[in-house]
Amino acid sequence: MPKPDPEDFHRALTASIEDPYPVYRRYRDAGALHRVLRPGSGREPEWLVLRYEEAAAVLAGRGFGRRASVAGVGPETSVGIVPPRYRVLSALVDNWLVFMDPPRHTRLRAVVAECLAARMRSGTRARVREIVRRLVDRLAAEPTVDLVERYAALIPVLTMLELLGVPSGDQDWLRERAAVFQRATTFRPGPREPRLVAAEEAARALAEYFRAALAERRATPGNDLLSALLAELWDDDLAAEDVLIGTCVHLLLGGHEATTTALSKSALLLLRQPGVLATLRSRPELVPAAVDEFIRYDSPAQMVTRWAYQDETVGGHRIRRGDKVTVVLGAANRDPDRFEQPDTVRFDRDGHRHCGFGMGAHYCLGSALGRIEVEAGVEGLLTMLPGLRLADDAVPYRQDLVFHGPRRLATTRRE
């Protein structure tokens, strides 16, 4: 069989968006790394990393980071994550923890992690289960249910609003602006400029919202995450209002997309694999292991990007300082050299760590909360799904190669 053309990777992936794994398999079998021209203006080169061992080397390696400006070469060295003409959007994203490098990243992560852990110790699992129970009860009377819009997307946003201490009645307003924001900050085919224009307005609205919320907490502190963040003793370069606002927006958005996608994919898998559903209904104690396996099997985040901060050798390939490196998590998590029967759902993979939450310094800060949300969401699905079936076998997917998942998951009641 001829080797796949590296230049065809992105086109082939977009054409197979509902099931990218055969594309991953062809390229992974041909090599751990591929040098390609990425789509978009300029057609700059990038490295694709497709196997687990090499993915771990990049994700955990100190020679790779999140900012082109630190890498020191290439066309993006003079700008941040977002072009600076989008002033509000750029300021928000530049102050997201996920786009920082050590040591600033380390200091901010420590503060946010402690505040988040303190809030989670006060009964978060029980509150998330109550959110899920209310949703399940509400949906029980509906003849048709979109499990993305009416279930998976609501669990993370309602959970984070409660943790932050902002009104649950604001959920629709916040979700609308979050969706616009996300469309500009993840990779999707097509022109990016219109999405950036819309995201600038969404960023301005979100920044004003959290600026007002922080002002309220300064006047009247509460037992919530916003108050906890304000009470911390921040280092001088982290104490700016922009950092606090960026952190609030990141907390709202950062886990929303990933958790929504993980829950949507879990629902689709359970609908399409009734044997897995039957196993979990008879043995609900397996739900934590099942959630971990679902995230490995069909990762909510399919790709993450790094920049080479120095010359490195990965998988026998010389990566130069300034090179863009895309780690294809979906491919690495089905690497047969790491996982036995990688294309099969199994609940006995103890000790076989996947990279669905990342690795190294940027290992997902919200992974513990995300697990709680997805576990509670799957428990709710075990109650709902025996009475539901897919309305159509063809499930529409978002044209997104980072957060990859169903755009809609229409179901109807079984007769």
- 394 — phi, psi (to 5°)? -85, 105
**Highest mean pLDDT (candidates 127-131, 247-251, 353-357):** 127-131
**pLDDT value, residue 233:** 57
Name the band, by pLDDT with cuts 50, 70 and 90, for residue 74: very low
* Six-digit token string for 1: 């069989």
How sure is the predictor about 340, in pLDDT bands with cuts at 50, 70 and 90? Answer: very high
Domain residues of the chain, as ranges?
6-413
Segment 364-382, tens digit of pLDDT? 777 888 999 999 999 999 9
**Taking CA 10 as the corner, what is the angle to CA 6 and CA 53, rounded to the nearest 5 degrees?**
65
Q: How far apart are CA 269 and CA 233, in angstroms?
A: 45
**What backbone phi and psi angles, to 5 degrees, belong to 129?**
-65, -35
Which one has a higher pLDDT value, 376 or 218?
A: 376
Query: Looking at residues 125-152, what average pLDDT do you find?
Result: 94
Q: Whole-number mean pLDDT of the chain?
A: 86
pLDDT at 362: 67
Instruction: Indicate the pLDDT class of residue 62, thresholds 50, 70 and 90.
Output: confident
Tell me how far apart the alpha carbons of residues 157 and 258 are, in angstroms, rounded to a whole number.
11
Q: Are 367 and 357 in contact (CB under 8 A)?
A: yes
Is the N-terminal amide bond of 103 cis, ω within 30° of 0? yes
Res. 19: pLDDT tops 70: yes
pLDDT of residue 383 exceeding 60: yes
Quote the CA–CA distance of 266 and 288 in Å, as a whole number.
12
Token digits for 189? 């085919």
238: pLDDT confidence band, cut at 50, 70 and 90?
low
Of residues 57, 60, 13, 63, the one with CA closest to residue 36: 13
What is the reported pLDDT for 99? 73
Q: In 3D, which of 302, 307, 354 has the Cα closest to residue 328?
A: 302
Give the pLDDT mean for 17-29. 95
Check whether domain 6-413 has CATH 1.10.630.10, yes or no:
yes
User: What is the mean predicted confidence (pLDDT) over 200-220?
Assistant: 92
Note the pLDDT tens digit of each residue in 306-328.
999 999 999 999 999 999 999 99
Regarding predicted confidence, which is higher, 131 or 362? 131
Min mean pLDDT across 74-83, 336-345, 404-413 is at 74-83
Q: Is 178 helix (H, G, I), strand (E, B) or coil?
A: helix
Residue 236, pLDDT score: 61
Distance CA 288, CA 374 (A): 9
Asked if the model's pLDDT at residue 231 lies above 90, the reply is: no
Nearest to 166 by CA among 201, 125, 210: 210
| pLDDT tens profile 158-195 | 898 888 888 878 878 887 888 787 777 665 656 778 88
What confidence tens digit (pLDDT) does each residue in 104-122 have?
Answer: 777 878 878 888 887 777 7
Give pTM, 2 decimals. Answer: 0.87
Of 34-43, 61-70, 171-180, 276-285, which gets the smallest average pLDDT?
34-43
| Interatomic CA distance for residues 108 and 401, integer angstroms | 28
Question: pLDDT value at position 400?
Answer: 83
